[in-house]
A and B are shown apart, each in its own frame.
Chain A
Amino acid sequence: MAAACLRLVWLAPLLLGLVDGGRAEPPRDALREELVITPLPSGDVAATFQFRTRWDSDLQREEVSHYRLFPKALGQLISKYSLRELHLSFTQGFWRTRYWGPPFLQAPSGAELWVWFQDTVTDVDKSWKELSNVLSGIFCASLNFIDSTNTVTPTASFKPLGLANGTDHYFLRYAVLPREVVCTENLTPWKKLLPCSSKAGLSVLLKADRLFHTSYHSQAVHIRPVCRNARCTSISWELRQTLSVVYDAFVTGQGKKDWSLFRMFSRTLTEPCPLASESRVYVDVTSYNQDNETLEVHPTPTTTYQDVTLGTQKTYAVYDLLDTAVINNSRNLNLQFKWKSPPENGYVHYQPAQDRLQPHLLEMLIQLPANSATKVSIQFERALLKWTEYTPDPNHGFYVSPSVLSALVPSMVAAKPVDWEESPLFKSLYPVSDSSSYFVRLYTEPLLVNLPTPDFSMPYNVICLTCTVVAVCYGSFYNLLTRTFHIEEPSTGGLAKWLANLIRRARGVPPL
């Protein structure tokens, strides 16, 4: 009881101190938040959040006790373990560069932790072990399984990403835990490190039930020293929290390729974070879709940003949440973008096969571009038929009917209109309506497929073998166990003997 009221009393001086301290000196930390939405070539959408807190303070030289935007848990970690850089990521899934293009920042599946310690650290391995234990408590992950068996000291890669005046790789440690799972329990402490938590700004979009229903989810924390200004004479600490997710067009989008913030996150943006100096949403509107689709973004952006990113020229639509015109009288911002495809000028008809009823039928109308080669291929699997369905010569194979190509080929020379009765017979095979092109029908070769053939003599072999075994083994035992022996009088011969005796008596020979 006494402890409880003492607690109330202690809170008061801290509050008063904060109020007056705020007026005495300018703020020394700044928050910038950013969301980049990239529609991917395959119809999926990638969203990358970045929250960056820059703190103009040198933690190594002064004792800091007042934390404003920079989280205290991480600030104390930097000073206690003399960290120079810390990079920790949790990822679920794999970034498919072939379908999605190059990523901004990729992370390996599982948990990855790499740390540069300061030159003043004497026992790097001990600090590394303690650091991984502390981080496992902060992020609710099994990082305490990091030990010498899965830690390496890279000698050439993983150079520091921040300011560095010497790179002795002795102070670098790297470990990956591929079995680590990412779930809401890792997202919750990550969100609590943000200055606005999940109450305002871009972090209201971070709802776990949507963020984990994705093909790729990666959240990371990066701490490094950066230049405070252009002259770069003093150090600031930068904390970046990044979160990348990729929404699948078919799983979350139900096959449609139009997206909105509400569809992706089940939330819309209402207000910027009051603690942020910058809060922006960038949408990649470069049209590079090979289907010749154009991207339409609604509401129309007020500004665009063009730059060379990852090697290619990209255009971004910019929405600044701090600009009052963006979040206007509707009080919320729901970005919508969809792919507008040009009208279809192709035709595909596919009728799948039904076993023992009808075959596959595939018809396609294709426009072949000039000076090119087009390849159409179909995959199939070979199956076993019922043993009565095989032909008497199954090792010959089974035939697949040839494909048909009907083409309208442009003619080099304009042809004269054909009079069927006057012209020779070879000119009137196909009716021609247009003199600039001629019709031709071509066939491919039939395909001979070797189906897996069973050994047809096997049923006979099995019956023989089984019957032999049953007869020999079981039969012998059955006889041994059930055969009883009776003593029998020899028979007197019966009718045959009597007849034989009759004949012998007639001959005069002694009887049997």
Chain B
Amino acid sequence: MVAACLPRERLRPLAGWLLLLSVGSVAAGRIEDQTEQFFRSGHTNNWAVLVCTSRFWFNYRHVANTLSVYRSVKRLGIPDSHIVLMLADDMACNPRNPKPATVFSHKNMELNVYGDDVEVDYRSYEVTVENFLRVLTGRIPSSTPRSKRLLSDDRSNILIYMTGHGGNGFLKFQDSEEITNIELADAFEQMWQKRRYNELLFIIDTCQGASMYERFYSPNIMALASSQVGEDSLSHQPDPAIGVHLMDRYTFYVLEFLEEINPASQTNMNDLVCPRSLCVSTPGHRTDLFQRDPKNVLITDFFGSVRKVEITTDTISLQPDLEITESSYKKDRMDEELMEPLKYAEQLPVAQIIHQKPKLKDWHPPGGFILGLWALIIMVFFKTYGIKHMKFIF
């Protein structure tokens, strides 16, 4: 319609303009798809809480399980500051380890999942049910260092991986205490009420693992387990040199699957499946509390940390601030000449040590308990023997 009104020599640039418009609309459609993908999941940061709950050398495979998930998660981008790693025993530097400072996942020592750059946040006796729940709910004593805290917010996707020995409805911590599925479900509900997660993926690799996610009732939780109620999760392969089983089957195949993933891959959660022929036990999953369809959930939504970055091409020039650094240096030089020479302390001043008096402890008045006890004794005495004795005392 526009072409009919205009003279011929303007047609060619106009055709060019029309072409541009159509291209522009197609491109806009693609940009819309891209931006829709951009905001698909709604999370801005990723956290991981990886827990191994077993102690003793023969539970080497549980530590190897946790470390292989740690390795994959770090490789796909989650930094150490966003990972809380809890290992209940030390396998790498265990005196029974024939190759110290290594933890292997494949036999014949093919893959060292311990690596050279590992940071364990909770180790040995610190892995307890109380510490685990405190990490999840955030009710942590104020002196806890930052690397031991789960500082997630309402836009965090959290991956929680637990492995160890478990049963129908409980998971054993260090052979001395258990956490039940009800406690875990309540902890997740506390997290939801305090808005400590956007979406949560819970993976558990223990015997009868499906019992642990039966009681969840908070939204946006997806759960995977290595075996159903009544089934045992089996270990994969022993290594003759190390002498113990190296990994559990479910986590072994999860690791093999994750080794193929890179930060840009588009595989989704429906691909994370372990067939019965390999895993022997029947892996379970629970997605009814999750609002998105699992086939739209990327693996990297939980296992990786894909940052959304906007690059700007504007330049900003700034003035450096030299006055502050210069003034402090000058002040220091002035103070130098004023002080008299200092000296080092004597390491073993025998004469001084022999003649020092032991310090007397400060006297504190007796506390309420002691006073109350004495009052009770005196009352009982007078009640028994009568009040007439009072006049002899006072």
Contacts and interface: CB of A to CB of B under 8 A. Distances in A.
A interacts with B: yes
B119 A130 contact: no
Contacts of A129: 143
A46 to B, nearest CB: 18
B344 A162 contact: yes
B116 A12 contact: no
Contact of B118 (A142, A182, A185, A232): A185
Contacts of A162: 344
Contact of B342 (A19, A183, A233): A233
B117, B120, B121, B145: most-surrounded residue (chain A CB, <10 A) = B145
A136 to B, nearest CB: 6
B347 interface: yes
Interface string A305-322: 000000000000000000
A66 B322 CA distance: 13
B322 A209 contact: no
A91 to B, nearest CB: 12
Contacts of A130: 143
A326 interface: no
Contacts of A182: 93
B342 to A, nearest CB: 5
Contacts of B309: 4-5
Contacts of B320: 13, 16-17, 19-21
A445 interface: no
Given A162-B344, A209-B99, A21 B116 contact: no
Contacts of B349: 159
A164 interface: yes
A188 B116 contact: yes
A163 B342 CA distance: 7
Interface stretch (B15-23, B25-33, B206-214, B310-318): B310-318
Interface in B333-349: 335-337, 339-349
B356 A156 contact: yes
Contacts of B126: 142, 144-145
B101 A209 contact: yes
B310 A1 contact: yes
A213 interface: yes
Interface in B214-231: none
Nearest to A21: B325
Contacts of A165: 342
Contacts of A159: 345-349
Contacts of A138: 145
Contact of B307 (A4, A155, A160, A181): A4
Contacts, number: 160
Contacts of A57: 332
A140 B121 contact: yes
B123 interface: yes
Interface string B67-83: 00000000000000000
Given A25-B325, A213-B101, A160 B345 contact: yes
B326 to A, nearest CB: 6
B337 to A, nearest CB: 7
A232 B125 contact: no
Interface residues of B, number: 61
Nearest to B346: A159
B100 A213 contact: yes
B326 A24 contact: yes
A134 B118 CA distance: 19
B124 A181 contact: yes
A181 B55 CA distance: 14
Contacts of B336: 233-234
Contacts of B331: 62
Interface in B114-167: 114-121, 123-126, 143-148
Contacts of A227: 342, 344
Contacts of B276: none
A208 interface: yes
B326 A184 contact: no
Interface residues of A, number: 64
B92 interface: yes
Interface string A36-65: 000000000000000000000110011000
B90 interface: yes
A211 interface: yes
A92 interface: yes
A5, A130, A157, A159: most-surrounded residue (chain B CB, <10 A) = A159
A375 interface: no
B308 interface: yes
Nearest to B331: A62
Interface in A128-165: 129-130, 133-134, 136-138, 140-142, 144-145, 155-157, 159-165
A184 B116 contact: yes
B390 interface: no
Nearest to A160: B345
A509 interface: no
Contacts of A161: 344-345, 347
A299 interface: no
Contacts of A181: 90, 93, 123-124
A193 interface: no
Contact of A155 (B121, B312, B341, B356): B356
B147 A137 contact: yes
A167 interface: yes
A189 interface: yes
B148 to A, nearest CB: 6
Given A183-B92, A209-B100, A213-B101, A66 B124 contact: no
B36 interface: no
B353 A156 contact: yes
A126 to B, nearest CB: 10
B222 to A, nearest CB: 26
Nearest to A183: B93
A51 B338 CA distance: 32
B228 to A, nearest CB: 35
A70 to B, nearest CB: 15
A20 B319 CA distance: 10
B125 A233 contact: no
B335 A234 contact: yes
Interface string A205-217: 0011101110000
B145 A235 contact: no
B369 interface: no
B348 A185 contact: no
B123 A145 contact: no
Contacts of A25: 325-326, 329
B119 A188 contact: yes
A232 B325 contact: no
B281 to A, nearest CB: 32
Q: Can you list the 5 inter-chain pairs with the closest CB atoms, starting with the nearest?
A: A137-B145, A183-B93, A164-B345, A212-B101, A133-B143
Interface of A: 1-2, 4-5, 8-9, 12-13, 16-17, 19-21, 24-25, 57-58, 61-62, 66, 92, 129-130, 133-134, 136-138, 140-142, 144-145, 155-157, 159-165, 167, 179, 181-185, 188-189, 207-209, 211-213, 227, 231-235
Given A92-B93, A144-B144, A233-B337, 8 more contacts: A16-B318, A155-B358, A181-B123, A185-B123, A207-B116, A209-B101, A232-B343, A235-B342
30 contacts: A1-B310, A4-B308, A5-B311, A8-B311, A20-B320, A25-B326, A61-B335, A66-B325, A129-B143, A133-B143, A137-B146, A137-B147, A137-B148, A138-B145, A140-B120, A140-B123, A141-B123, A142-B126, A156-B356, A160-B344, A161-B344, A163-B344, A181-B93, A183-B93, A185-B120, A188-B116, A188-B118, A209-B99, A213-B100, A233-B342
